[in-house]
Amino acid sequence: MAAPIDGPVHMYPTSEVNREKAAAPNDAPSPEAGASESVRSDGGLRSRKANAALSSKSPMRDADDELEGGTAYDGTPPASEAQFAGKGGTPWSQRSFAYQFMPFRGMYYDVVGRMPYYVDDWVEGFRPKNLYRVVAASLRMYFINLLPALAYLLDLNHRTNGAYGVNEVLLATALPAVVFPIFSVQPLTIVGFTGLVSLVSYTHYDIVERYEGVDYLQFQCWMFIWAAVFHFIFAIFNISDYTRYITDMTSETFGFYVAIIYITKGVELLVFEFEDSTTAGGWLAVTIAMLFALTVYFVQRTGSLPFGPFWLRKLLSDYAFAFAAIWWTGFSHIPGEITSAGLRFLPITRSFFPSTYRSWFIPFWELQGLWIAASIPFGFLLMLLFYFDHNVSSLMAQARQYPVTKPAGFHWDFFLLGITTLVSGFLGLPAPNGLVPQAPVHSESLSVLNRIDVDHDAKEGVVPYEEYEDWKKRTREESKRVEHKVVRTSIVEQRLSHLAIGLLTVGTMTPAACRAGPHAARLVCGRLPGRRMGQPRRQWRYAQDALPLA
């Protein structure tokens, strides 16, 4: 019986899409498999053409590859095990302890495997046929990234006595959205400020604030320093290989948990609205929140309806979130009874400066040695959270229903996440990490949708583009058919949309955006309405180094 596939479980659609094609000969790879060969993220081989030429009947794939609740790594290796091992990859069951924990092995193969596609990642975003998808995904993800971040900020600001403000959260969202598109291996994974980080941050704040003479941001900086060190250790010694045991059920359960946090926090912030505002303002916030959610749901549903022009349905589905945010923002500013109801606004401070009376750089060296040591277990626990959260986000961005063809890189990306965690600590920002809700939505936004015969076999809603073109040539009457279904035929794998999200977020910190502060606040009320962040701010000991607020 053949050995299981080397490396972590990747719930890619690649083999789900391509394994239906003819299997390669048992002893040698096909001519296509020998072309454009690249190295996989975990030391195996990965090739777009090889994926199309090889199938699940390869001697390297059998029942041992399948795990309960998910599918093993879908990047099909070469048919020859000798060739597979000769390229630096070793089957999982044949790995020695020294090979498994060989320093930098995974990071090396991550970079080498993706490097041949790096230029193409940028070119793909600028191709005329892909521009619409890139622009639509960028705008959609900008709003989906921004509004939850600001909503969680409302709660975090209140619970930490003003330690974090709008600019801190915007920078924590923009920093990884600029760094990861340029330097990461897998640019589809959205990284930013999430609800789990908000929960962890105010929990740590409650612990630290019980003791006098301890500055929370200095303690957080040391916690992030230790977390970054553990990130580096895990990445260097290939611990991300063990994500091969993460299954569909694991990912979906974790996504369900995050969704529950979104709902509970939204309800909690709506309750706060009654405390900080009038009764009319509280009920107006509830009404806007419910109408916003229903508007997004029903407008987005038009994309799957069987009637109406297909291009119009796709347009409405792509811009449903942006449309609803802008519409209900304008609604909340209608003069008269609505504006006088007492809805809350986000406090806007000086552009590109901290929201509190401090400098950007945290003097972490002033913290007592006892608390530096005490921050070590906190940093380790934070790394464990990010290890699971970020890797699950990356897996969900490349799930089977998305026809991803380019290799991933879990080791390198986790190392890069350690760097952004370290920088966030120095700047006094909440640490960014992979976003479970946003990552698969990003992939969904970049998916190319087409209509096909309702009886056509489409596993996980995916039909390879070549197969779709063959079907069109056979029927030649696809546009006249009444019964059809919408399937994904490809995905625009590029780096431009993720970078555009980061640049748009940076633009939100500009003076022009600050003057539009009340409008930004209404976006939050439409998403997860929250309370005013007007509590007295803590006077940090190093406030004399900061510039005054405008």
Q: Do 183 and 52 share a structural domain?
A: no
Q: Is residue 273 part of a domain?
A: yes
**What pTM was estimated for this model as a whole?**
0.77
Average pLDDT of the residues in 153-171: 86
Closest CA to 492 of 144, 134, 140, 139: 134
Express each pLDDT in 3-53 by its tens digit: 333 344 343 333 333 333 333 333 333 333 333 333 333 433 333 333 433
What is the pLDDT, as a whole number, of residue 479?
A: 52
Look at strands 38-39 and 45-46 and give their pairing.
antiparallel
Question: Number of structural domains, the chain?
Answer: 2
pLDDT exceeds cutoff 70 at 66: no
Q: Taking all residues of the chain, what is their mean pLDDT, rounded to a whole number?
A: 75
List of residues 6+ apart from 120 with CB closer than 8 A: none
Q: Is residue 233 part of a domain?
A: yes
Share of the chain above pLDDT 90, in %: 28
What is the pLDDT, as a whole number, of residue 530?
A: 34
Q: Is residue 30 part of a domain?
A: yes
Identify the band that residue 531 occupies on the pLDDT scale cut at 50, 70 and 90.
Answer: very low
Q: Do 128 and 86 share a structural domain?
A: no
pLDDT exceeds cutoff 90 at 309: no
Q: Is residue 38 part of a domain?
A: yes
Sign of CA dihedral 303, 435, 187, 410: negative
Q: Do 296 and 147 share a structural domain?
A: yes
What is the pLDDT, as a whole number, of residue 280?
A: 80
What is the pLDDT, as a whole number, of residue 154?
A: 81
Q: Do 274 and 322 share a structural domain?
A: yes
Sign of CA dihedral 80, 85, 88, 91: positive
Q: Is residue 261 part of a domain?
A: yes
Straight-line distance from the first to the last Cα atom of the chain, in angstroms, rounded to the nearest whole number:
70
Final residue of a structural domain among 42, 65, 90 = 90
Distance CA(496)–CA(47), nearest Å, equals: 23
Q: Do 26 and 152 share a structural domain?
A: no
The range of the structural domain enclosing residue 22 comes to: 14-90
Q: Is residue 486 part of a domain?
A: no
Distance CA(235)–CA(409), nearest Å, equals: 11
Q: Do 267 and 225 share a structural domain?
A: yes
Distance CA(149)–CA(157), nearest Å, equals: 12
Let me know: does 48 contact 36? Beta carbons within 8 Å: yes
Q: Do 161 and 57 share a structural domain?
A: no
What is the pLDDT, as a whole number, of residue 12?
A: 37
Q: Do 137 and 277 share a structural domain?
A: yes
Q: Do 73 and 195 share a structural domain?
A: no
Q: Do 525 and 387 share a structural domain?
A: yes
Q: Is residue 250 part of a domain?
A: yes
Phi, psi (deg, nearest 5) at residue 548? -65, 150
Q: Is residue 539 part of a domain?
A: no
What is the pLDDT, as a whole number, of residue 51?
A: 40
Phi, psi (deg, nearest 5) at residue 354? -60, 150
Q: Give the residues across from 45 on adjacent strands.
A: 39
